[in-house]
Amino acid sequence: MNKLGRWHGEKGRKKTGGKINPHRKKRKYEGGSEAMYTLAGKDKKRFYRTKGGGIKVKAAAVEFVNVYDPKAKIMKKVKILDIVKNPTNPHFVRRGIVTKGCIVRTELGMARVTSRPSQMGVASAVVVEEK
């Protein structure tokens, strides 16, 4: 909702019906970027310049995932064998897209991705207990 308590479609009018003129237009730096869907495959990274001259790394594809095993208390870099389930979107499984919360099959077993590969450039996961 906007500051007048209305949804976006009604934001150009007051309660009385009068028009609200915007005080300025959108600026180039206020725009976002296209969504990066990280695929399971050969590692590919994209580098973006941010405001202030910093660099943001986004993963276009990941082959390995850093898996933490709470029982053995070890962290190991293992290969992603398959994407099993993705609660974000069931179609992402078919397309091979890795997101936070998706379940992947690795050499250590099933693991749930805990990082955001499209934002961080790295995939981290935790071993999931199978019932």
Spans of all domains in the chain: 38-127
- For residue 94 the two structure tokens come to 């078919």
Convert the pLDDT of each residue in 45-97 to its tens digit.
999 998 899 999 999 999 999 999 998 899 999 999 999 999 999 999 999 99
Query: Of the candidates 98, 91, 90, which has an alpha carbon nearest to the alpha carbon of residue 36?
Result: 98
- For residue 37 the two structure tokens come to 């869907």
CA angle 110, 114, 120 (to 5 degrees): 130
Q: Is the pLDDT of residue 21 over 90?
A: no
Burial of 118 (0-12, 13-18, 19+ CB in 10 A): buried
The pLDDT of residue 30: 82
- Phi, psi dihedral angles at 128 (to 5 degrees): -105, 135
The CATH number assigned to the domain with range 38-127 reads 3.10.290.70
pTM of the model: 0.76
